[in-house]
Amino acid sequence: MDATPSFLDQMIAAGHLVPTGVDGLYGRSGMFEDVIARFEAAVTDIGKDDGAEVLRFPPAVTRKQIETSGYMKSFPQLAGTVHSFCGGDHDHALLLEKIDTGEDWTQDQVATDVALTPAACYPLYPMMAAQGALPEAGRLFDVQSYCFRHEPSTDPCRMQLFRMREYVRAGTPDQVQDFRELWIERAKSLIGQLELPFDVVPANDPFFGRAGKMMKLSQRDQGLKLEMVIPVANAQPTACLSFNYHQDHFATTWGVELADGAPAHTGCVGFGLERLALALFKHHGLDVRGWPAGVRGLLWG
């Protein structure tokens, strides 16, 4: 019998992750949060001269946005919509009775105008479209949000609610591709200095169903998504960052235009903050005080 505790068990025993009874939904320790804060500060430092517009949205988008963006077409299995009780006294009595007797009460919940954010960059596209044509230099954003994906799992790297820090570029194809190249090099340098082993590999999003198979292949073939993978809790290394080139997909969906009226191109680099923290704890130990001097210096120096 294998008595070695899993990495999730170790993170829970150390108090870094607090289980809730639902797979992929955890509390975080102060030390875990500090690692994320320090990591984010290192990222901010790298991008400090780029002039990014810093924006923070709550971890929700409008339901309309989930509909318009095509998210339900591509990733219905991951989406989270917010439902609420909208009845009167009588319905309320029935609701409580159902909860008491263990009956399903959720059928009576009504969809609100709110859905959970699937990726930190989602709120930016309709916002940009509403603000008018892009300037010659394009636009660059710094966003961070908790994101929801319905993918319950006992893999600590696969959470249902996790944070994504992103830089998002909108402009000409050249501007967006240069941005992506720059961040791939910056990420390699940062993760190398954090003494984590990594690889950058072609990837695809988990497009749903049979129709999604073609989209996965085409995304991979065209090199539209690259991921930085790091070994963490599984035999297969885990995607901890992604470098995405959307071409004009989001721009045509929402109407984001260049100064000459042509559809803009967009791209984003996404840092999976929990995965990066988990990778650091996995490789350097469960107590940050024992981490290598160089890593400590970079994060806390």
Strands (E), 72-160: 81-84, 110-116, 139-148
* Closest CB 168 distance from Zn ion, rounded Å: 6
Between 176 and 205, how does the x/- string for binding to ligand AMP read (CB under 6 A)?
A: ------------------------------
Contact flag: residue 257 with ligand AMP (CB under 6 A)? no
Choose the one of Zn ion, ligand AMP, none that binds residue 155, judging by a C-beta under 5 to 8 angstroms depending on kind.
none
C-beta closer to Zn ion: residue 158 or 165 = 165
Contact flag: residue 258 with ligand AMP (CB under 6 A)? no
Which residues of the shown chain bind Zn ion in the complex (CB under 5 A)?
Answer: 119, 121, 166, 268
Instruction: Compute CA distances 251 → 67, 133, 173, 246, 255, whole Å.
Output: 16, 11, 12, 9, 5
Between 83 and 122, how does the x/- string for binding to ligand AMP read (CB under 6 A)?
A: ------------------------------------x---
Q: Where are the alpha helices (DSSP H) in the chain?
A: 7-13, 30-46, 63-68, 71-74, 89-101, 124-130, 173-193, 209-221, 249-254, 273-284, 293-300
Strand pairing class (53-55; 139-148): parallel
Q: Cα–Cα distance between 42 and 239 in angstroms, integer?
A: 19
Strand partners, 257: 263
Q: Name which of 152, 174, 116 is nearest 20 in CA terms.
A: 152
Contact flag: residue 16 with ligand AMP (CB under 6 A)? no
Choose the one of Zn ion, ligand AMP, none that binds residue 239, judging by a C-beta under 5 to 8 angstroms depending on kind.
ligand AMP
* Closest CB 121 distance from ligand AMP, rounded Å: 8
Among 165, 275, 282, 284, the residue binding ligand AMP under the rule CB under 6 A is 275
Q: Cα–Cα distance between 46 and 194 in angstroms, integer?
A: 14
Choose the one of Zn ion, ligand AMP, none that binds residue 142, judging by a C-beta under 5 to 8 angstroms depending on kind.
none
Q: Name which of 182, 181, 115, 165 is nearest 276 in CA terms.
A: 165
Structural tokens at position 109: 């919940």
Q: How many CB atoms are closer than 10 A to CB 18?
A: 13
* Closest CB 10 distance from Zn ion, rounded Å: 31
Contact flag: residue 272 with ligand AMP (CB under 6 A)? yes
Q: Cα–Cα distance between 123 and 143 in angstroms, integer?
A: 10
Tell me the residue type at 71.
Answer: Y
Contact flag: residue 151 with ligand AMP (CB under 6 A)? yes
# residues contacting ligand AMP (CB under 6 A): 17
Contact flag: residue 162 with ligand AMP (CB under 6 A)? yes
Q: Name which of 276, 251, 279 is nearest 265 in CA terms.
A: 251
Contact flag: residue 164 with ligand AMP (CB under 6 A)? yes
Of 173-181, 182-190, 212-220, 238-246, which segment contacts ligand AMP by CB under 6 A? 238-246
CB 288 within 8 A of CB 16: no
Choose the one of ligand AMP, Zn ion, none that binds residue 268, judging by a C-beta under 5 to 8 angstroms depending on kind.
Zn ion
Between 200 and 229, how does the x/- string for binding to ligand AMP read (CB under 6 A)?
A: ---------------------------x--
Contact flag: residue 158 with ligand AMP (CB under 6 A)? yes
Binding site for ligand AMP (CB under 6 A): 119, 149, 151, 157-159, 162, 164, 227, 239-242, 270, 272, 274-275
